[in-house]
Structure 1
Amino acid sequence: MTLDDLRVFVAVCRAGNLSAVARDLGCTQSAVSQHVKRLERETGISLLERQPRGAVPTEAGRILQEAASDSIAGLDLALRRLTNLVNGDVGSVRIATGATTVRHFMSEAIVAFRHRYPNVSLEFHTENSSRSCFDALTNSNLDLAWITIDSPVRGIEQRPVVDLPWALAVRADDPLAQRSRIEPADLLDTRLIRLPENSTSGMRLDDAFAKLGVRISSDTSVADWDAALLLAELGLGCAVVPALPGRLGSGEDRFHLRLVPIPALPPLSVGWAVRRWDALPPLARVFADTVGQRCAEGSTAQ
């Protein structure tokens, strides 16, 4: 059993397809299969169940996949830290983010970090949800993931950075734009632009409305917060969105858009996810702290 065997096996479990892994690795499907067969010979049990459209781990395979993923991630992290020790302030920080995260939460921090560490590479990997960020963090050598704080995830530590109040994004010429605050009941007759159903923020919003006994209707959905703001600006409806740092109360006049607070909705907590904070490479920790500091400054300014 070799480290390559385990890496290939974990990749197959994740992709669900031997040929896809072979393409990624630039080898033959037979070579990928040999790695898996070697593990099965040494463990004495079947690890993959072959299906017409791919392969899925057996119960034993899932046990090995979880253990191997944790071990490989820890080893990759250790090797990265050793590299940073050798090279000093030359290295890289790898971050998983959502589609709009960098613009709204990290732009100022990136500039500050780059001035301080001009030779450090920042690598951003875009994911479409917090759940996919968790998966990417678990199954690769990423350092950090920016996520909506969620229920505990095995092998992942979450650290809140900023709480985002909810607001109604509405055109300035809409009667609701003249209010100083919005109550959830005010939205009963309003057709809202819906956040993605599979997103943590969308599910949190649905749960909050349900607990308040408010049923919301919607005939338009979007892929992210920015798209919701754009459609609201175009007059295609109103959108309940997290008020990003520095935006709530700004009036958004140049966009003909107002963000009106909805205090009854509990804030949405966002922040960092890592495998282990105490094992985070120093450069990644500095970057995480820099983002946290800039977000705190933006929240104070609201």
Structure 2
Amino acid sequence: MLDVSRLQVLLHVIEEGSVTAAAARLQYSPSAVSQQLRRLEREVGQPLLTRHARGMVPTEAGQVLAGHARKVVRQLTAAEADLAEIAGLRRGQLSIGTFATVGSSFVPLAVQRFRQLYPSIRMHIHSDREQGLIDKLEEGEVGLSLLWDYEWRRIDPSQVALTTLFEDPTVLVVAADHPLAGERSVHMRDLADEGWIIRSEQHPVVEVLHRSAAAAGFEPRISFEANDYQEAQAMVSVGFGVALAPRTALTNKHPGVRIVSLGDSAPPRRIVVAHRHDRVRAPAEIAFHEVLLDMAQGYEPD
């Protein structure tokens, strides 16, 4: 394998016409240049330069090698320029993961800000469920992803590197004409007689309901199992029951419902950004990570 730095030395000697001139341009000593040339000649197994009255002249082998060396140097220079543009966020791409509720609330704000700062970066955004997002991180399909967890089921920090962005409170959703619709805050113990609209039994917010109800001393009576939060809101709006939801899930609020705080009687979920421990993060990933942290400061879902 030929040494690229020695090829560059050869080119400088040929272009400058002497070892002394090449050494001055490279800021090397003449002896160091001569040493590099001798090593290169040993690598190729034949002389590359001959000395004439007008200076150093390439042999036939030297001319052939110099022609290839010019191409290599041009490609390396182009590569350095491309890498400098990527490092300077003047080009490149970014792949991130998100999930539905923050994908419809917080993430668009961060994406908008990032595109204002770095308009040349091409973004790819993948929305998925939790395990799908972790799989995408592990497989390198996304460089970073937003995830969530609750205090009783934390994401394993040895699996992925985590940075907390904000807490997403659990709130109560009631019909606009419900007796509690005008309250700013209620406690779970005041809701023992309500019918509850839930997501499917496997959905995490159902566990939040059961834990919160148990702590308040009652067993929730289930009125309806909804397919998504929009369906849950619609059933709440006609008085079929009340519901719990993360606040970010209610960015697109149904006009017939009201949102009431539960204070600390229902646990919040933690919104985090994750990346692989072993990943060498690209400049665009680091920049988007910083934008997420900036946007999360003081963020409150509407």
The TM-score, its normalising length taken from structure 1, stands at: 0.61
Length, aligned pairs only: 216
Provide Cα deviations, 1:81-132, integer angstroms capped at 9, x if missing partner. Answer: x7974785311211122123222111121111111111211111121x2232
Given the alignment of the two structures, is residue 131 of structure 1 paired with residue 135 of structure 2, yes or no?
no
Task: Identify if the C-alpha distance between structure 1 residues 254 and 166 changes in structure 2 by more than 3 Å, giving closer, same or farther.
Answer: closer
Provide the residue aligned with 1:167 in structure 2: 171
Output aligned runs, 1:76-87, within 5 Å.
Answer: 85=86
User: Are residues 1:282 and 2:279 paired?
Assistant: no
What is the CA-CA distance between 1:261 and the residue it aligns to?
A: 0.5
CA distance in 1, matches of 2:122, 2:178: 45
> Deviations along 1:41-88, whole A, 9 cap, x unmatched?
xxxxxxxxxxxxxxxxxxxxxxxxxxxxxxxxxxxxxxxxx7974785
Q: Mark the runs of 5 or more structure 1 residues left unpaired by the alignment.
A: 1-81
Partner of 2:190: 186
Q: Relative to 1, partners in 2 of residues 1:226 and 1:289: Cα closer, same or farther, differing over 3 Å?
A: farther
When the two chains are superposed, the root-mean-square deviation of aligned CA atoms in Å is 3.2
- Contact 1:105–1:245 (Cα < 8 Å) also in 2: no
Gaps of at least 5 residues in structure 2 are 1-82
More displaced, 263-272 or 226-235? 226-235
CA contact (8 A) 1:169 1:232 kept: yes
Task: Give the partner amino acid of 2:214.
Answer: A
Q: TM-score, normalised by structure 2?
A: 0.61
For 2:299, the equivalent position in structure 1 comes to 298
- Aligned mates of 2:132, 2:259 — CA distance in 1: 29
Q: Which moved more, 1:176-185 or 1:272-281?
A: 272-281
Would the aligned equivalents of 2:103 and 2:127 in 1 still touch at CA under 8 Å?
no
Provide, for residues 162-199 of structure 1, a one-character-per-residue CA deviation record: whole Å limited to 9, x for no partner. 11222111122111212232211222222222134434
1:156 aligns with 2:160: yes
For 2:95, the equivalent position in structure 1 comes to 94
Match of 1:217 among 221, 227, 231: 221
Distance 1:119 1:111, change over 3 A: same
Aligned residue type for 1:120: I
- Following superposition, the deviation at residue 152 of structure 1 comes to 0.9
Q: Deviations over 1:256-295 (max 9, x none)?
A: 3211010112221112121128733221122122233223
Residue aligning to 1:143: 143
Q: Could you say if the C-alpha distance between residues 124 and 180 of structure 1 is closer, same or farther in structure 2, counting changes exceeding 3 Å?
A: same
CA contact 2:96–2:125 (8 Å) conserved in 1: yes
Aligned-partner Cα distance in 2 for 1:83–1:136: 28
Map of 1:119 onto structure 2 = 120
**2:299 counterpart SS class:** helix
Q: Percent identity?
A: 21
Alignment of 1:273 onto 2:300: no
Q: Which is higher, the Rg of structure 1 or of structure 2? A: 2
Correspondence for 1:6: none
Distance 1:117 1:102, change over 3 A: same
1:238 maps onto 2:223 in alignment: no
Alignment-mate amino acid for residue 245 of structure 2: V
CA contact (8 A) 2:229 2:249 kept: no
Matches within 5 A, 1:4-15: none
